[in-house]
Amino acid sequence: MVAKQLSVFIENRQGRLGEVLKVLKTNGVNILSLSLADTTEYGLLRLIVNNPELGKEKLAEDGFSTMLTDVIILQINHEAGSLQGLLQILSDSDVNIEYMYGLSIDGDEASVVLKTSDLEKADAVFTKNGVKTLSHKEIK
C-alpha cells in the first residue's frame, strides 16, 4: 500500500523551517512525521501529513518548492530485530532502500516510512509475506 509524502526544498537559513510549519499550521495540515536533511545551502524536508495535497498547494502558493512522492509506511512489532527481518525480505528480493525515517502514531506497534528503488515490487513483497503496510486513511 503506497502513501504520499510531502517534500519541501528550503534554503538553509534561520527561520525558514518555521515559515514552512506556519503555512501548514495556518491551513490545518497536521504533521504526523518529518525528516530534515541539510547541506550548507539548502534543506530537504520530508513530511507525512494528514492532507498532503492541501499542504503542497498551500506551500506552493507561498513560494515553496514542493513535490509529492510515493512511499510505503511499514508497521513493525516492538521487538528487537523486527525491522532488520523486514528489511532482509527486501534485500533478498533485490529492492534497495533509498531512505527511511520513523513515524509516530498511536498504537502498540512502531512504524517507519520507506522509499525504495521499486515501490511496486516492495509493496508486493510485503503483501506476499503478510507484512502490514498503512495507507494515509489509516494514519490520519
* Same domain, residue pair 10 and 62: yes
Number of separate domains in the chain: 2
Residue 64 lies in domain: 2-69
Burial class (CB in 10 A: 0-12, 13-18, 19+), 60: middle
* Same domain, residue pair 32 and 75: no
Q: What is the pLDDT of residues 19-61, one digit of tens each?
A: 999 999 999 999 988 999 887 788 899 999 999 999 999 999 9
Grid cell, residue 126, equals 510485503
Q: Are 4 and 51 in contact (CB under 8 A)?
A: no
pLDDT score of 26: 97
* Same domain, residue pair 83 and 56: no
Q: Answer with the residue of higher pLDDT: 132 or 55.
A: 55
* Same domain, residue pair 60 and 78: no
Grid cell, residue 10, equals 528550503
Q: Are 47 and 82 in contact (CB under 8 A)?
A: no
CATH code for position 84? 3.30.2130.10
